[in-house]
Each structure stands twice: as structure tokens, then as C-alpha cells.
Amino acid sequence: MFILKILFKNAFRHKLRTSLTVLGITIAVLAFGLLRTVVVAWYAGVEASSATRLVTRNAVSLVFFLPISYKEKIRQVPGVTEVGYSDWFGGVYKDEKNFFPNFATDAKTAIDLFPEFIIPPDQKTAFLRDRKGAVVGRKTAERFGWKLGDIVTLKGTIFPGNWEFVIRGIYRGAQKGTDETQFFFHWSYLNESLRKTAPYRADKVGWFLIGVKSPDVAPDVAVAIDKMFKNSLAETITETEKAFQLSFISMTEAIVVVIRLVSFIVIVIIMAVMANTMAMTVRERTGEYAIMKTLGFGGWHISGLIFGESLVIAAIGCASGIALTFPAAKAFGDSLSQFFPVFIVARSTIYMDMAAGLIVATVAAVFPIWRAITLRIADGLRRIG
């Protein structure tokens, strides 16, 4: 306790300089934590993927459709338990800036395939009975103030026109990291309209959602499905849900790399600032260290004092940065929820913040420690007065 008291007194002997250094570390750790949280949020869909779900899409590209008739053929593949389908609808609410993920889907199967979306039984029944019914995530409902029974009109971008829906269900996530921003409705409602307005687009889906008995049979099921439709007019690629999500991430991989690089550059910059602070501190106390050596204190004692002081400054700044990361992440996530539906500070991010603080403290103390240890007593005493 006595040593800790000395370390704090030494650290704040020059209050202004130490306070500015702590502020710099706080801002750096906050920036590092937010940037790492952005990276984690980027991969949120991948982490939430189920090992027992497969996705079958057109082998050429996701923008090309698959015949709805594939559903029954896929269902006959050994190991398949459920088969659903979806289309990316791409509708907007009132204005283009009001973006949120919305899908036309095989309603009942989709509900069964995604147990992480918790919908009250009465709302589920109401949704399945209403052709214009829709289910929306809790966050999107709160964002626009939607309630059960509200009539919502989405302006189609991929499927032109104004589409009217009735909010029949509001789901919540089974876990903290579950996406609660999605909006989905009956594919049959969309298909009925397409048969009248664009028959060439009717009876086609964007992708099939496939439930399998266990992750062990997933590779065999995927191969069997793709083999079944080989040399057809619409060949398929079947992959795990995780691989399907990663295919989207790969399109923006360069952005993720840049964010990661910037997060580490921030730490390097504050490391230089911290090293400068510690170098100035040791230079000012050269005489004190010389006197300590004359009194019999060894290099380990002096090293401990310098490293301890560096650690105290870094720890205070790091703790402040971590504490500020949570409210900052919440504000950031709320303002950009349409792009980052899941924006949560992961435990791994906190560990990285702490590791960064320890590295900064250690690196910043290395040169000052070496300088203090190699200092000759006579040289140090000359600086007194």
C-alpha cells in the first residue's frame, strides 16, 4: 500500500503533464475500443450463423433467381429437415435513408428455421393468418414507433410500387447479439402481385434456407443439392450460413483491414506520447536516482519505481477509456443501427484494451529504465541544484 501511494505521488508530481497524458491515453483507448467494436459488428452476422442451416443460391450470382419448384426436390435430399425460401425485398419506409433489412419469405418455415427470433404465440398465429401480415424486429419497431396492428407502406426498389403491410408480430432476440432490425412478410403476397405485373419474375426466389439434422451431414447435403441441379438452367451453390454471410463480408474486406490498421496506429501514437512523458520524468529525477544508488538501492528498485509510475498512468487512462467505450458505443450503435444492427462491446475488445494499456506502459518505460540504470552516480549528482 505504501509503494502504491509513492507511485501515485510520483505519477502526479507534474499534474498538468500527467493529466494530459492520461487524457491522451483515454481518448486512444476509447478510439481503439470503438474501432474494434466496428470490426466485431461487421462480423456479427457471421458469428450468429447456425451450423445446422444451409443456403442454396444461384451459382452465377445472388442477383439471379431460382425456380420455386426446387423446394420439393431439395426436401427429398437425405439429411434435410426443413426447406424455406426468401427474397431480398429492398423496400424503404417513406424515405431512402430509412433503410432496414426486409425480406419476402416462406413465413412458417422461416419462423421454424430461426428459433433465435422469439415471437409470442398469438402474434405468430396472427401473422400466419394475414396475407399482408409482417413481423418486425424490436429495434426497428421502436425506431419508427410501430405497434401491433399498424399499417405500414414500403416503397419498393427492386419490386416497384407501394406495398402495404400490417404489423402482426414484433420479435425479440433470444440472445444479446441477435439482429433485431429485420422485417419479413409472406412471399406469396409478393408473388401474387408479380404474376399480374411481371410474370417473368413470378414463381422464383432469391435463395433457399435449408435446415439439416446436424452439422456433420451439412457438407454431404450441400454436395447432393448442387449435384442434383448440375447442368440445369439454374445451377446452384449450397454453402453453410456462415460461408454465405462471409461472402458479403469479403466484398468489403479492404475496409475492415483499414479499420484494423487504424486501430493499431492509434495505440502506436499514444505509445510515443507516453514514452515522451516518461523520458521527461526520468530526466527531471536524475539526481534523485543517483542519491538512491548511493543509499544502496539497486537497479531493480529504480526499475520498479519507473515501471510502476508508467503503469499507474496507463492504467488510469485505460480504465477511463474502457468506461467511456460503453456509452460511446451505445450512442454510435443507436445512430447507425441501420448499418450495424448489432453493436455491442465484446469481452475480447475489453481484453484488447487492457493488453494495449499494458503494452503502452511497458514500452514507454523501457528506455527511461535503461537510462536510469546505466546512470553513473557522479553524473547524476552533478545535476542536483
pLDDT surpasses 90 at 167: yes
Strands annotated E in the chain: 53-58, 66-67, 80-88, 102-105, 117-118, 133-137, 151-156, 161-173, 183-186, 204-205, 207-212, 236-240
pLDDT at 385: 47
pLDDT surpasses 80 at 194: yes
DSSP 59: S
pLDDT at 377: 74
- Contact (Cβ atoms closer than 8 angstroms) between residue 44 and residue 342: yes
* Global model pTM greater than 0.85: no
pLDDT surpasses 80 at 336: no
Distance CA 199, CA 186 (A): 18
pLDDT, averaged across the chain:
85
* pLDDT, tens digit, 9 for 90 and up, residues 111-151: 888 888 999 999 999 999 999 999 999 989 998 999 999 99
Q: Greater confidence, 372 or 206?
A: 206
pLDDT surpasses 50 at 74: yes
Place of cell 443501427: 337
pLDDT at 383: 62
Q: Greater confidence, 246 or 25?
A: 25
**How large is the average pLDDT for residues 55-76?**
90
pLDDT at 45: 62
Q: How many CB atoms lie within 10 A of CB 195?
A: 12
- The lowest-confidence range among 40-54, 131-145, 180-194 is 40-54
**How large is the average pLDDT for residues 321-341?**
80
pLDDT surpasses 50 at 298: yes
Q: Greater confidence, 168 or 244?
A: 168
pLDDT at 380: 63
Share of the chain above pLDDT 90, in %: 28
**How large is the average pLDDT for residues 31-54?**
77
